[in-house]
Amino acid sequence: DAGVTQSPTHLIKTRGQHVTLRCSPISGHKSVSWYQQVLGQGPQFIFQYYEKEERGRGNFPDRFSARQFPNYSSELNVNALLLGDSALYLCASSLTVRGDTGELFFGEGSRLTVL
């Protein structure tokens, strides 16, 4: 079975541009969450979606937005890119949103470089 797939794997943008990152969860998983990982640090939570509804948002500016589609895939959008947005963006899917069960399955990430 395919794991969590993300695209693109690498991309380079310039300051002020917009970027869209895509994620396909494992088949049957209805929850998708997004994380940002700056080099040398642990991942930071950005968004969580479950059944196409936003269920949580981390401490990120409004330039970051996301949505989940009827097939449970998801997009993360970042507007007005800043140099500090350079990071690895990770998508994770899970069957449930309960913290007592349900491991998260992470994709390999999309590495964004902002010049």
**Interacting residues with other proteins (CB under 8 A):** 4, 31, 33, 35, 41-45, 48, 50, 55-56, 58, 90, 92, 94, 97-100, 102-109
Report, in Å, the least distance between residue 48 CB and other proteins.
Answer: 5
Query: Considering only CA atoms, which of 68, 61, 77 is closest in space to residue 21?
Result: 77
Report, in Å, the least distance between residue 40 CB and other proteins.
Answer: 9
Query: Considering only CA atoms, which of 9, 46, 10, 6 is closest in space to residue 22?
Result: 6
Instruction: Give whichever of 10 and 15 is closer to other proteins, judged by the CB atom.
Output: 10
Report, in Å, the least distance between residue 15 CB and other proteins.
Answer: 26
Instruction: Give whichever of 11 and 104 is closer to other proteins, judged by the CB atom.
Output: 104
Cβ–Cβ under 8 Å, residues 77 and 89: no
Q: How far is Cα 88 from Cα 23, in angstroms, rounded to an integer?
A: 13
Helix (H) or strand (E) holding 57: strand 53-57
Q: Are strands 31-37 and 19-24 parallel, antiparallel or unpaired?
A: unpaired
Instruction: Give whichever of 18 and 36 is closer to other proteins, judged by the CB atom.
Output: 36
Instruction: Give whichever of 14 and 69 is closer to other proteins, judged by the CB atom.
Output: 69
